[in-house]
Amino acid sequence: MAEQHKKGARRPDGPRELALEVLRRVEEQGAYSGLALHGMLSEAELSRPDKALATELVYGTIQRLNTIDQVLSSKVKGWPRKVEPWVRCLLRLSYYQLRWLERVPAHAAVDEAVRIAKKRGHAGIAGLVNGVLRGLLREGVTLPLPADLPVAERISLTHSHPRWLVERWIAAYGEQTAETLCAADNEPPHASVRVNRLRTDRAALLADMAEAGLDVSPSPLSADAIVATRAGSLADTPWYRNGLLTVQDESSMLVAAVADPKPGMSVLDCCAAPGGKSTHLAEIMQNRGRVIANDVHPHKRPLIDKQKERLGLGIIETTTSDALALTDLLPPDSMDVVLLDAPCSGFGVIRRKPEIKWNKTPEDIAGLAELQHQLLRAASALVKPGGVLVYSTCTITPEENGESIRVFLADHPHFSLDSEWPDEVLEPLRERNIIPEPFPGMVQLLPHHFGSDGFFIARLRRT
């Protein structure tokens, strides 16, 4: 059985087996779903529809994990801990198909699950898988939740989020918004690209992409963004290779736009890899001035170098340093603009990395908030009098966002929130009533606002 399992793990046959192997690696090895999936898809000889099915099964199963486990716990004795990890993963992805993938015939999902169980295990496991799945089909794959559940538990099981996280979001945003953003986390992310304004403009690129048969539209959030659906890999196009665009989420594009650096300025991006915000800063500056793109990881430096060369941006200088130690490398009070896109819990990108919601803990949030306080103090020392400090995260927890800014301002009275943001940034936020009036100089974007990533951005000025 062990040899069969190992052999099957090495050579997945079809999209369901490939998805099973990715899920097993996430379950047993703590692998990142996106990296594991990309690696296996690049080696597998699957058709485009089969690759799409494997991708849907991986992300969907992880997204719906606690809802799936709540149902299977009533069908399998000792679920989940007394069931082998690969069997757990097989039953989960099979149940996900039965409940959420209407285009997959139920008999096909069950038959394939039984085939995989026989290949990897033995007749007893195949019988278990067959019995559980056919029992679900007989009784109905959608089991009603008890009517008297507390609100947080109901949202948790309906939209598949940890209860502790739902409770925090209810406290921060209210019950209705918390449920809406949990539902949005389970929607597939759309693709978006940033136009390199030094080589083309949005109207021209939109026309070229539409002429090539892509379903594209201008972003309602970012003036530099194009949204694409069913477009395949936009990084595998002539527009990308020729430096006309960068693949980037729309919310992320707002960060450099809020920084609003002018040509000739000295700008620092403290945590820059893979380079999306650094290159955007350089484009806004018309490739005139100086952008220092720093990252703590030496192996990520070539990623930034590759992007700046592809986009034709000569003003970007890459460095490798802990952001806390940048004050040892750069003179104090030397930067017109400092961007700190801080390490964070990542709860704004759950749609892209669904395992985040299951892997993070309240203790992680507290630890990250403390690190963010340290990074803000270090970054602020490099800002010129009259200069700008922009703080951003791709998370939606108040402790890492607004509260971090309030703690910083209490300790640094020579900084204040700056509400003088470019009109092109503020107009779409005002149109959807996302920011209060008067505008405080910081914003929390949630995943359902524009269908983009959850992001926090604050602009501070040294007075």
Backbone angles phi, psi at 38, to 5 degrees: -60, -45
Q: 148, 117, 122, 147: which is closest to 134 by C-alpha?
A: 117
Bridge partners (DSSP) listed for residue 316? 291
Note the Cα 343 to chain centre separation in Å.
Answer: 13
Give CA–CA dist 311/280, Å, rounded: 10
Q: CB count, 10 Å around CB of 6?
A: 11
Collapse the DSSP code of 448 into the 3-class scheme (helix H, G, I; strand E, B; otherwise coil) and give the result: helix
What is 375-433 written as a DSSP string? HHHHHHTTEEEEEEEEEEES---GGGTHHHHHHHHHH-TTEEE-----HHHHHHHHHTT
Contact present, 256 and 328 (Cβ < 8 Å): no
Q: Which residue has the tokens 């989020």?
A: 161
Q: Which of 182, 271, 344, 394 is catalytic?
A: 394
Give CA–CA dist 158/323, Å, rounded: 40
Contact present, 387 and 461 (Cβ < 8 Å): yes
Q: Which residues of 31-55 are buried (b: 16+ CB within 10 A; e: fewer)?
A: bebbebbeebbeebebeeebbebbb
Structure tokens at 95: 């149940």
For residue 348, the 8-state DSSP code is: G
Residue partners of 234: CB distance under 8 A and separation at least 6: 191, 193, 228, 240, 245, 247
Structure tokens at 289: 């001035």
Contact present, 340 and 270 (Cβ < 8 Å): yes
Residue partners of 434: CB distance under 8 A and separation at least 6: 443, 445, 449
Integer angstrom CA distances of residue 143 from 72, 243, 275, 395: 10, 50, 46, 32
For the chain, the residue count is 463
Burial class (CB in 10 A: 0-12, 13-18, 19+), 463: exposed
Integer angstrom CA distances of residue 5 from 24, 54, 81, 121, 129: 11, 19, 19, 7, 16
Active site residue 271: no
Identify each DSSP E strand in 100-173 by its residue range. none
For the annotated catalytic residues, the residue numbers are: 394
